[in-house]
């Protein structure tokens, strides 16, 4: 601090260096099938824990009759992580083409589902 009691630039740097997003080296990436986090997007519930360019508020969608395969990538050939049951609530975070990316909850599982297997939004 300077003589007026104000913080100096060095004090400000010291304060910021102890925040949650310091550049202190490599971090362990969480399991992408358990944590709704990609390099470009994350569930809003992860704000303050992970730094990404965008956070999404999940849009709840109901799984259609017949269920849906939750896949590890947006492809029919991608491994199936689990089967979502009819009536399950899927937290939609992003849509790319015919695939929806999201999770069942903030704790997972996380993956891709065909958009046509989710109830459309009704107004």
CB half-sphere exposure, 120, CA atoms < 13 A: 4
pLDDT at 16: 47
- Residues 6 or more apart whose CB falls under 8 angstroms from that of 10 comprise none
Q: Are strands 41-43 and 54-56 parallel, antiparallel or unpaired?
A: parallel
pLDDT tens for each residue of the chain, 123 residues long: 445 555 555 554 454 455 566 777 787 889 999 999 999 999 999 999 998 999 999 999 999 999 999 999 999 999 999 999 999 999 999 999 999 999 999 999 999 999 999 999 876
pLDDT at 26: 80
Q: Is 70 helix (H, G, I), strand (E, B) or coil?
A: strand
Q: What homologous superfamily is domain 25-117 in, according to CATH? A: SH3 Domains (2.30.30.40)
Q: Which of 113, 116, 67, 107 is nearest to 87 (CA)?
A: 67
C-alpha 28/C-alpha 37 separation (Å) is 13
């Amino acid at each position: 601090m300077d003589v007026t009691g104000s913080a100096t630039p060095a004090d400000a740097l010291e304060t910021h260096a102890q925040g949650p997003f310091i550049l202190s080296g490599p971090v362990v990436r969480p399991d992408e099938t358990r944590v709704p986090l990609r390099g470009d997007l994350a569930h809003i519930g992860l704000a303050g824990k992970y730094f990404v360019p965008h956070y999404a508020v999940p849009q709840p969608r109901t799984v259609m009759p017949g269920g849906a395969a939750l896949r590890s990538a947006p492809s029919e050939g991608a491994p199936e992580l689990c089967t979502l049951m009819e009536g399950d609530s899927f937290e939609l975070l992003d849509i790319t083409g015919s695939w929806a990316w999201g999770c069942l909850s903030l704790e997972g599982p996380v993956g891709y589902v065909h958009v046509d297997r989710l109830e459309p939004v009704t107004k």
